Amino acid sequence: MSRQIGLTTEILLRRIRQEGGLALSPDFATKVYSLCEQAINTALRRVLTTTTLSIPKQKLLFSLRDELSSAVDIISITQSNRDIPSVSSIDEISAFDPTWFRSITGTRFEAWHQIGRDLLILYPGQTAISSVDITYVKLLTLRDNFLTAYNENSELPDEDVDIALSLAELILLTRFRLLSNISKKLEQVVTLLKLRGVKI
């Protein structure tokens, strides 16, 4: 069963009040926790989505913000059940063809590359309209209203909610300059991330 946002935020509020007796807006705590869910999902790649993207002919560059607004990192791209290999740099695409940016020769894609979190290159440009299936790390919903989000379930798996909660606590302790337990809390967050395979 998924953890509810409201109950998790209440735990965060209690922890911060115990640390410094500070009054903290539930809406602000909800937003900080929600941002931490996004960060943890980005790091751990837990919530994935697959969607079909229609490709106009001759198009090589795609704005992720326009084409896949909920995508953080692309995991894989397939065309007709064939995995398209990813490359680690534009130089590798140039190895296929030094004039790749105007190469409209393909009947199938040979490689893809994500630039930051904004652009996707699919090489080569196609001579006809086509489509690909893209699996990506989902940008989790940002919640900033405690009452509205109270009964909503976290999109993170249960085992990762505690990491997001600890990270939110660390951020709020830092924000309110409650410095006495920050090093201990930071060590806890780093340990939890390392246990899940994140290199820090």
- Secondary structure string (H, E, C) spanning 114-158: EECCCEEEEECCECCCEEEEEEEEECCCCCCCHHHHCCCECCCCH
**pLDDT tens readout for residues 106-163:** 788 999 999 999 999 999 888 889 999 999 999 999 999 999 999 999 999 999 999 9
CA torsion 169→171→175→177, rounded to 10°? 70
Bridge partners of 89? none
Domain ranges in the chain are 5-45+140-195, 48-138
Check: pTM over 0.85? Answer yes or no.
yes
